Amino acid sequence: MTAKKKYIAFCNQHADIIPVFLRAIWLDAVAEKWNVILQEEDNEIKAALPYCTKGNILTNRIYLPDVSFYQSIIFLQHYTAKQQQAISENLFRQLPHTLKSYFKFLPEYSNIDLHALKYKSEVYPTYCIKKKSEISLSTNHARNVQKGVKNQYIISESKNISISYALLASTFIRQNLQIKLSFELYKKLQHITQKNGMGKTLDCIDQRNNVLASILIVEDAKCVYYLYGGYDTSFKNSGAMTFLLHYIIQDTIQRNKIFNFCGSSKKSIANFFEGFGAKKTSIPIWKKTIY
């Protein structure tokens, strides 16, 4: 049995311990191609390094799909920091030769250092609300939440994914950016997340049945991720996005999970996240380019 088939079988049997962006079913949906390198002991998987590839023989590279937040090594049993380092170096040495490589590690593996393998490091900021935290809203956020309460906004799973997708896509359109999530991929993600308990699209709706804002979240056993969000500019001052996020964060905390805003390098967006009491968390990125 190939390493990929072993990993798929492991994910099917132990979905609760694999982060959502590293699960085989997710990689099947979002990656052009993917494979995995395994650390096995006594025929049991102890660590894994899933990776996505695209391009031809001249442009072949290991890349992070736009809709994935992490591409990381994962340890499936306890190892010391020294052991993790040795296993990581061993697995990374087995990666195929590509012109470029890009990995964004889970924060718990920030101790791993790949400089000896000629990778260069960067740090990307995300913003998280920890388990059992108390939500600390900024004055403006608190005002918007109260606006939603006063106007009796309703939160529900999307009943019209075309409308929800249009709101998600509008975030990119307003910034004159290329939409990173196609409607076909969105439909695919909507299907697999709902079917496998990996997430959903939630809408904020007013009393006239207008869809004011939509958010796509994905989740695993430890964390809920705010992947995409958007609002109807006709109701820009409705406070719906803040109200919807506040609802999701409350639900996340009640279920004893971490809420991850999936980061931003823009100060204005960071300020928006921090308005919910989110704390900055550094994500290690490892890149290699060969010319």
Q: Which domain holds residue 265?
A: 129-282
Do 134 and 233 lie in one domain? The reply is yes
Do 113 and 181 lie in one domain? The reply is no
Report residue 259 as tokens: 């809420």
The structural domain count of the chain equals 2
Tens-digit pLDDT string for the chain (291 aa):
899 999 999 999 998 899 999 999 999 999 999 999 999 998 899 999 999 999 987 889 999 999 999 999 999 999 999 999 999 999 999 999 999 999 999 999 999 999 999 999 999 999 999 988 888 899 999 999 999 999 999 999 999 999 999 999 998 888 787 888 999 999 999 999 999 999 999 999 999 999 999 999 999 999 999 999 999 988 888 999 999 999 999 999 999 999 999 988 788 889 999 999 999 999 999 999 986
Q: Is residue 266 domain-resident?
A: yes
pTM: 0.94
Tell me the three state secondary structure of residue 73: coil
CB of 23 within 8 A of CB of 11? yes
Q: Is residue 195 domain-resident?
A: yes
Tell me the three state secondary structure of residue 264: coil
Q: DSSP of 121-165, one letter per residue?
A: EEEEEEEEE-TTPPP---HHHHHHHHHHHHTT-EEEE-S-HHHHH
